[in-house]
């Protein structure tokens, strides 16, 4: 093997390593991104569930308040009944018509009060009944939401564990890969990747860099296409490689001539 061939082979190998490194870094990046969003997804689902729980708590608080009102009305009714009994005991001691009329008026007033209290009690009881009937439905709804949340959380935690494992593997693979690259190229790669949103190796399309869409010299494009040399884009500084475009699907409209 002559010196030129040897040099070319070395260049080709380096380019292959750079492409591999970029693929690994993309993989690592994607895994890190999904690991970043998972806790937020779980927290959002939990918040939604807590919202449902607070709806149930609000209903329970309403029921408790109605029961308290009912208790107070029962107490009031008892007080009025006592008042009535006490007023009636005065009757045998009545001496004048005026006194008699006064007692009669008083018992009438108490009757009205009792009737009002009973109306209110009835109203509260009906309301209480309606509210209590809402509980089982809400409870069942909450239970099923809670089950769904538990399943979702479990799924997300499994996803998280899997991504963590894959990330550790990908990082180990990346470290192994980086060892094979010329240290000078490796440090250029790292520098460009940091400066250019994680992308340090891009494919060309025709004579255009797919990273910055600037054209390059035809000779450069040719060498990149043939994998002869490690080139960098003059505009964006990224390493250039060539990935053939996947065959496009035949267009159904024009594929069959009429
Ligand atoms: Zn470029």
CA 256 to chain centroid: 47
Q: Do residues 22 and 200 touch, judged by C-beta distance below 8 A?
A: yes
Site of tokens 């996803």? 159
Rounded to an integer, the average pLDDT of 35-43 is 97
CA–centroid distance, residue 249 to ligand 1 (Å): 28
* pLDDT at residue 250, rounded to an integer: 54
CA–centroid distance, residue 230 to ligand 1 (Å): 14
Rounded to an integer, the average pLDDT of 90-94 is 88
Average predicted confidence (pLDDT) for the chain: 92
CA–centroid distance, residue 202 to ligand 1 (Å): 8
Q: Do residues 185 and 18 touch, judged by C-beta distance below 8 A?
A: yes
Weakest-pLDDT range from 166-170, 181-185, 208-212, 250-254: 250-254
* pLDDT at residue 6, rounded to an integer: 87
Distance CA 144, CA 125 (A): 30
CA–centroid distance, residue 139 to ligand 1 (Å): 60
Q: Is 216 helix (H, G, I), strand (E, B) or coil?
A: coil
Q: Is 231 helix (H, G, I), strand (E, B) or coil?
A: strand
Q: Is the pLDDT of residue 10 over 90?
A: no
Closest CA to 26 of 155, 200, 148: 200
CA–centroid distance, residue 174 to ligand 1 (Å): 24
Which residues are found with C-beta within 5 Å of the ion, ligand 1?
209, 211-212, 233, 235-236
CA–centroid distance, residue 208 to ligand 1 (Å): 8
| End-to-end Cα, the chain, rounded Å | 57
Q: Is the pLDDT of residue 106 over 70?
A: yes
Q: Which pLDDT tens digit goes with each residue over 111-148?
A: 999 999 999 999 999 999 999 999 999 999 999 999 99
CA–centroid distance, residue 23 to ligand 1 (Å): 18
* pLDDT at residue 257, rounded to an integer: 44
CA 74 to chain centroid: 49
Domains of the chain: 35-169 (1.10.287.1490), 183-241 (no CATH)
Distance CA 113, CA 56 (A): 36
CA–centroid distance, residue 184 to ligand 1 (Å): 20
**CA atoms within 13 A of residue 193's CA, in its CB half-sphere:** 17
| Confidence at 43, pLDDT banded by 50, 70, 90 | very high
pTM score, whole prediction: 0.70
Q: Cα dist. 21→9, 43, 180 in Å?
A: 18, 34, 10
DSSP alpha helix (H) spans, 89-217:
97-179, 183-195
Site of tokens 């267009």? 251
| Confidence at 255, pLDDT banded by 50, 70, 90 | very low
Q: Is the pLDDT of residue 219 over 60?
A: yes
Rounded to an integer, the average pLDDT of 68-87 is 96
Share of the chain above pLDDT 90, in %: 84
Q: Is the pLDDT of residue 216 over 60?
A: yes
């Amino acid at each position: 093997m002559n010196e030129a061939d040897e040099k070319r082979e070395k260049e080709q190998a380096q380019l292959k390593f750079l492409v591999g490194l970029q693929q690994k870094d993309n993989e690592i990046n994607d895994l890190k991104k999904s690991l970043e969003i998972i806790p937020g997804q779980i927290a959002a689902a939990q918040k939604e569930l807590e919202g449902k729980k607070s709806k149930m708590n609000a209903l329970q608080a309403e029921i408790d308040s109605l029961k308290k009102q009912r208790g107070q009305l029962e107490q009031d009714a008892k007080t009025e009944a006592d008042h009535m009994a006490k007023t009636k005991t005065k009757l045998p001691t009545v001496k004048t018509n005026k006194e008699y009329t006064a007692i009669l008026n008083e018992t009438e007033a108490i009757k009205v009060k009792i009737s009002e209290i009973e109306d209110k009690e009835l109203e509260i009881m009906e309301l209480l009944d309606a509210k209590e009937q809402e509980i089982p439905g809400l409870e069942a709804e909450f239970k099923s939401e809670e089950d769904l949340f538990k399943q979702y959380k479990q799924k997300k935690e499994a996803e998280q564990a899997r991504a963590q494992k894959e990330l550790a593997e990908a990082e180990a693979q990346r470290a192994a890969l980086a060892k094979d690259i010329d240290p000078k190229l490796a440090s250029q790669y790292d520098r460009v990747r940091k400066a250019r949103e994680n992308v340090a190796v891009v494919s060309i399309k025709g004579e255009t860099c797919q990273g910055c869409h600037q054209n390059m010299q035809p000779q450069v494009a040719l060498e990149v296409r043939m994998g002869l040399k490690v080139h960098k884009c003059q505009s964006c500084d990224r390493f250039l490689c060539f990935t053939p475009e996947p065959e496009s699907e035949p267009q159904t409209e024009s594929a069959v001539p009429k």
